[in-house]
Amino acid sequence: MVTAAWLLKMLADADLSDISVVFFGDTANLPYGTKTQEHVAKLSDAIIERLSSHCPVIGIACNTASASWAHFGSAGKSDGLRQPKVFSVVEVAAQQAYDRARVLPDPKMKRGRKTIGVLGTELTAEIQSHAERIVERHRRILSDAIGHQLPLIHYTFGRDDIEPTLPADLIDYKHTPHIAVFREDEPGPGGTTRAGIRHWTPPEHLPHDVEIIARAAQKLVAAVDVAHILDAEGLVKQEWREKLAEYLHEVSGDLVRRKTTALILGCTHFEFFERAFAKLLPTLAARNSIVSPSGALAVALFDAFGEYADAHPVQPVAQQGHAYFAFSGDRPPTETFQGLGITNPVDAELT
């Protein structure tokens, strides 16, 4: 709903009052964060197919759904004319986080590194889809700098050190520049993914390595979905503030120790707590590197719809657009709409 709220504000700002926004919330199947990737991908496919007859552009605003759909989804991935253009909030978040993260020097290793934190649901932390996208961006930027596509080689623990998973006769690992990727699982959902350039020194403004620390913060999801801890203004109710502060301090402490220079709030629910995170992580907040990607996803949808409208001129069916909201289960409380500044939401049945 955060992305929908951004879209409505952007349409009003652009004086496009005849354009409607359609939102579908799969509240009957919550929580997504504790399901399997395959299950969530099937749910996402069904929603995309359901919306495709109404919307030429679709955004998957749920990080868990985006991550699962990227691996196992099929709807919206075809280049066929009938398919809508589908945008993923994970892709947007990964790009923003990589671009905003600082390069910190490691004097001992004589290498520069970007360290990025990701907080998400249990499934988002386990999939580490943000890490995949960040590694791909790291590879693309270093490939552009070196002038050719760098091989992406996965490594794993060997007898003495990490070793490449591909046979040695496929590439001269001791001399060929390549991106080495290694994932280290840690207790609980999540882990750390590392990717670094080998056998080449990039320009000083670019990092040698990137490190992505994924952590689960499932309790924050439950706080919004189940406990309804927000008031009519979208702020945390007084009786919950101390508990929330303790929990946020706990989940952010490891990110501080690991010297993260960007943080992805990998669930749209977490954007309600952005101000609280900013107090705990003032340096990241001051550098605008706490990434709440719903607004950026809204921009991608807004621009894509403009391109679609230019290519397919249509006559609006009404002079006044609406904000249509449909839910497979329970409708969120009125306070949630009010907290996001959504006025006059229209309940809709999508067929």
**Mean of per-residue pLDDT scores for the chain:** 86
What does the pLDDT look like over 162-196, one tens digit per residue? 777 776 667 787 789 999 999 987 777 788 999 99
User: How far is CA 248 from its chain centroid?
Assistant: 19
What does the pLDDT look like over 74-121, one tens digit per residue? 888 876 555 688 999 999 999 999 999 999 998 887 899 999 999 888
What string of DSSP letters covers 275-320? Answer: HHHHHH-HHHHHTT-EE-THHHHHHHHHHHHHHHHHHS----S-SS
Region 323-336: what's the mean pLDDT? 86
Place of tokens 């500044």: 341
30 or 113: which leads in pLDDT:
113
pTM: 0.82
Residue 203 preceded by cis peptide, ω within 30? no
**Model confidence at 314, in pLDDT bands (50, 70, 90)?**
low
> Residue 151's pLDDT is what?
92
Region 286-312: what's the mean pLDDT? 90
**Model confidence at 247, in pLDDT bands (50, 70, 90)?**
confident
**Model confidence at 337, in pLDDT bands (50, 70, 90)?**
confident
What does the pLDDT look like over 113-159, one tens digit per residue? 999 999 888 888 888 889 999 999 999 999 999 999 999 999 887 66
Alpha-carbon dihedral 315, 317, 319, 321, rounded to 10 degrees: -110
> Residue 30's pLDDT is what?
83
Of 45, 132, 142, residue with least CA distance to 95: 132
Strand ranges (E), 161-270: 162-164, 178-185, 190-198, 209-216, 262-265
> Residue 81's pLDDT is what?
54
Domains plus CATH for the chain?
Answer: 2-88+294-347 (3.40.50.1860), 92-291 (3.40.50.1860)
250 Cβ neighbours under 8 A, 6+ residues apart: none
146 Cβ neighbours under 8 A, 6+ residues apart: 177, 200, 202
